Amino acid sequence: MARSRGRLGVASLVLALCAGGCTSMQIAKGSPPRIIADKQPSEIEIRKVDGSRIRLYKPVVRRDTIWGSRTYDNRTQDRVVALSEQSGLRIVGGVE
């Protein structure tokens, strides 16, 4: 009996830690330009059509491209992803 309680406690702890980590991520529905303009997220993850993923901090949309930084502290927008290259967008950081 004591063993099963211990296992249950460990399983509950693992579940609580995993569930708590997922609360800051949101799957974004809609067009990326609209989502970025409306929600102004501090960090996003883009899934590209080739299956790779890329993180952008402080994203903005200019014409047909999503611009962002490699790190949150970076003041320059040094990463770009064409809207035609993305197949999904997930908000990772906070929204305003």
Please name the residue ranges forming H helices in 1-96: 2-22, 32-39
Identity at 51, one-letter amino acid code = G
pLDDT digits (tens, 9 = 90+) for 19-41: 444 444 567 778 899 999 999 99
Note whether 95 and 41 are within 8 A (CB).
yes
pLDDT at 96: 66
- pTM of the complete model: 0.68
pLDDT digits (tens, 9 = 90+) for 4-23: 554 545 444 444 444 444 44
65 vs 29, residue with greater confidence? 65
Tokens 């927008």, residue?
77
Tokens 């992803």, residue?
81
pLDDT at 82: 96
Identity at 25, one-letter amino acid code = M
